[in-house]
Amino acid sequence: MGGQKRNLPDVLVIGGGPAGMFAAAAASFAGAKVMLLEKNERLGRKMSITGGGRGNLTNTASLHDFIKNIPGNGKYLFSVLTRFSNNDCMKFFKSLGVPTKQKEYGRVFPVREQAGEVVKILKEHLLTSGVNIHYLARGTELLFSGCQCQGVRTADTRTYHSKTVIIATGGASYPQTGSTGDGYRLARQAGHRITPLLPGLAPLCVADQQICRQLMGLSVTNIMLTLITSGGKKVDSEQGDIIFTHFGISGPATLRLSRVVSEQTAAGNNNQHLLLDILPDMDEGHLAGKLLSMAINQPQKSLLNLLKQLFPGRLAAIFIKTLQVDGRKRSGETGKELWREAARLIKHLPVTITGARPLAEAMVTVGGIETREIDPRTMASRLAGGLYFAGEVIDVDAFTGGFNMQIAFSTGWIAGLSAAEKAGSLIANLE
C-alpha cells in the first residue's frame, strides 16, 4: 500500500483556469508531481477573453490600493498578495517570455496584447514542467479517507487519487467558459459553507425601457452615478464612463456599482434609483448661470439646440422631455427658473433600476466559499485535510483593472506551494 501511495500525484488540481494553472505551476516548481483536470477541451477559456482578449493580467497598484480595489474580502488576501505580488507575477511572466507593459490606471498587459497567446505559453510551461493534464474531466465528487481529501471522481465515473487536492474551478459567471459552479458543489461535500452567489461587474437594468430605446448605444464620459434606495438613502457612488444599452446602462462606473446593487436586491431592496450627474466637475449654481448666459447670448436658439451645444442630441432631448417644455421654444423667451430646473436635472437625472443583469452575464461572481473556513496563509481548508482552494470559487471579488486576475494568480500560486509542501510531509511520514 505504501508503494501505491508513493506513485500517486502529490497534487491534483481541479480546474484549468488562471488559478488552476498557477497552482499547478507553483506545485511543480516546488518539486511536486502534479495532475491537472480540466472539464473543457482546452485550458484557460475565461482567461483568453480577459481585457477584451488583450489580457489584462494584473495592476501596478500598491498593496494598499490593491486591497482597496477588492470590495469582496480584500483584507483577507493580504498574506497571499504579499507572498505572490503583482511584481512577482510580472517577473514570472517575463521568465516565460511574456514581457508586460503598463497602460492607463495601472493596468498591465502582455506587450503583444494577446490573452490567448499567454494561455498557450502557460500550457507549454506546465507540460515542460511535467504536469499531467487531463481534458474533458469534470470533477463531481471528492474522495475522502476519514477527514483527509484524497482525490476526486469525475462525471464519467473515473477516479483520480492524490495526496492533496486543489479546487480552482472558478465561479458561476460566464458559464459558457466552463465556470458553472462545480467547485461550490465539491466544497459543500467537505462541509464548507457557500455565501450567496450574486452578479458582480455586471451591467444594470433600467425600469424605463423608453429611455433605453432613446439612448441605446450612446456613450457618455465622466459621469457621477449615485445609488439611492427607495427611502432616499445614499448607498454608494462611482464616477466614470457609461454606455446606454437596450436593457439599461453599462460601462466602467456601472460595473463598479453593480456589486452593491446586487447586494441591495438580494436584501429585498428592489426599488433602487440612480442619480446621474452628467457634469460632476461643475456645481449646480455655476451650471445654472452658464445656461442662462448661453440663453441670453443666443436668444433665437431653440432650447433643444442650446442644450445640444453641451450634450449629445439624444440626451438633450431627454432633458427637454423631463422638463416638460417645448424644445422648439426660443431660449430668449425663458427665465432664470427654467435654467435652475435644467441645472438641477442635469446634476440629478433620476433613473430607476431593477437590478443587475443575471450572474451568467456578469464578469465575476460575488460570494463563494466562506473565507473563515480557508486558511488565508496557505489556502488550505480548515475543515478537511489535504484540500485547498484558489481563485473565484472563494468568496473574494474585485473591480476591473487586472485585480481579479491577480487574485487568481496569487491564491493559485500559494495553494500550489502549500499543497506541495503538505504532500511532501505526507511522503516523509510514509518513509
Secondary structure (DSSP) of 168-217: ----SSSGGGT-SSHHHHHHHHTT--BPPPEEES--EEES-HHHHHHHTT
Residue 5 pLDDT level (bands cut at 50, 70, 90): low
What is the architecture, at CATH level 2, of domain 2-198+361-430? 3-Layer(bba) Sandwich (3.50)
Joined together, the cell numbers standing for residue 138 give: 469534470
Whether domain 203-357 has CATH 1.10.8.100: the reply is: yes
- CA-CA distance, 242 to 216, in Å (whole number)? 11
Question: In the prediction, which pLDDT does 4 show?
Answer: 44
User: Which residues is 199 bridged to in the sheet?
Assistant: 365
Residue 209 pLDDT level (bands cut at 50, 70, 90): confident
Is the pLDDT at 15 greater than 70? The verdict is yes
Question: In the prediction, which pLDDT does 1 show?
Answer: 37
- The stretch 148-153 carries a mean pLDDT of 97
Locate all alpha helices (DSSP H) within 274-402, ordered by sequence.
284-297, 303-307, 313-323, 336-347
Which CB contacts under 8 angstroms, 24+ apart, belong to 337-344? 339/288, 339/291, 339/292, 339/295, 340/288, 342/288, 342/291, 342/307, 343/284, 343/285, 343/287, 343/288, 343/291, 344/284, 344/288
Joined together, the cell numbers standing for residue 150 give: 484524497
Mean of all residue pLDDT scores within the chain:
95
Joined together, the cell numbers standing for residue 177 give: 467558459
- Higher-pLDDT residue of 177 and 138 is 138
Q: What is the pLDDT of residues 22-75, one digit of tens each?
A: 999 999 999 999 999 999 999 999 999 999 999 999 999 999 999 999 999 999
Q: What is the pLDDT of residues 266-296, one digit of tens each?
A: 999 888 999 999 999 999 999 999 999 999 9
Distances (CA, A) of 68 to 33, 184, 254, 367, 410: 37, 26, 18, 18, 16
Q: Where are the domains of the chain?
A: 2-198+361-430, 203-357
